Amino acid sequence: MTLNKTSLHTITKVQYATRLTKDMVGTYALLPGDPDRVLRISKYLDDAREMANCREFFTMTGTYKGIRVTATSTGVGCPSAAIATEELANVGVTDFIRVGSTAAIQSFIQTGDIIINTGTYRNDGTSRMYVPDNYPAVADHFLAHELILSARELQQTQSFGLHIGLNTCNDAFYAETPELIEKCSKLGLLNFEMESSAIFTVARLRNCRAAMVCGVSGNLVAADYDYDKGEKGNSKLVNAWETAIQIALEAVVRMEQSKHTK
């Protein structure tokens, strides 16, 4: 059975893929790709508890400075990211922040830097199932603004490069050819990642807010990467994950405060 958008918003049963219900989540959700990074986010939350763990979707919920926050892993790529966004919206999440890793495609960006993307070049198939090719995938202005303010405030006590601009969202990790990298770099795009098209598009269609902050895992044009190092060997990336999480959580606080001052 195909559900229309009206009926989607009224679903109260357990969600099919994520196994979530309304009482399991807050209105803010952080979306890492890797389930292990949900555990990393949970260290910053008070009273964090596992809510569900099914397929690639691992969810924990706790509080940050008194605000209920959920962390759900989306897995790799737009198809599963769209599912997570849809089902979290079904059970009451209104604000989504992707907290991920990304590969830089501009030579001035270094491993361990932070990128906040305000819009996405949709080079995926999932978002095309939702909207025409000329439909823009953009972050919510207000949520992205809070991420930028949080990042700049954190720079006063921590040292990291910060870059703000557009990215490319690709479907196929191993199909990112040198030609594609060169093309997108010449267009002034900052980075490659694999989930933002779906998250931005679905959130917009569901009348929710979405934004993204990522740690740079390597640079594809400067040959500054070594994915074989893993977490233990790539301390710059691990530090960037932690920084991105802090930025996202502080943006949640700012967003909540702005709602109460309007």
Please name the helix (run of DSSP H) or strand (run of DSSP E) that holds residue 123, with its range, or none: strand 114-123
Look at residue 9 and tell me if it is in a domain: no
User: CA-to-CA distance for 112 and 114, rounded, in angstroms?
Assistant: 7
**% of the chain at pLDDT higher than 70:** 92
Look at residue 6 and tell me if it is in a domain: no
Look at residue 238 and tell me if it is in a domain: yes
| Range name among 1-15, 119-133, 238-252 with the lowest pLDDT average | 1-15
pLDDT confidence of 7, banded at 50, 70, 90?
A: very low
Q: What is the pLDDT of residue 231?
A: 60
Q: Specify the CATH number for the domain of residue 65.
A: 3.40.50.1580
Check residues 65 and 232 and name the one with the higher pLDDT.
Answer: 65
Look at residue 227 and tell me if it is in a domain: yes
pLDDT confidence of 261, banded at 50, 70, 90?
A: confident
Domain that holds residue 173: 14-261
Orientation of helix 196-205 relative to helix 78-90, angle to 10°: 30
Look at residue 2 and tell me if it is in a domain: no
The pLDDT tens digits of the residues spanning 150-159 come to: 999 999 999 9
The pLDDT tens digits of the residues spanning 172-194 come to: 999 999 999 999 999 999 999 99
Could you give the number of structural domains in the chain? 1
Token duo for residue 240 = 């960037």
Q: What is the pLDDT of residue 186?
A: 98
Look at residue 7 and tell me if it is in a domain: no
Look at residue 1 and tell me if it is in a domain: no
Check residues 11 and 70 and name the one with the higher pLDDT.
Answer: 70
Look at residue 72 and tell me if it is in a domain: yes
Q: What is the pLDDT of residue 260?
A: 80
Instruction: Annotate 205-260 with DSSP letters as a single string.
Output: HTT-EEEEEEEEEEETTTTB--GGGHHHH-HHHHHHHHHHHHHHHHHHHHHHHHHH
Res 225 pLDDT > 80: no
User: CA-to-CA distance for 83 and 57, rounded, in angstroms?
Assistant: 10
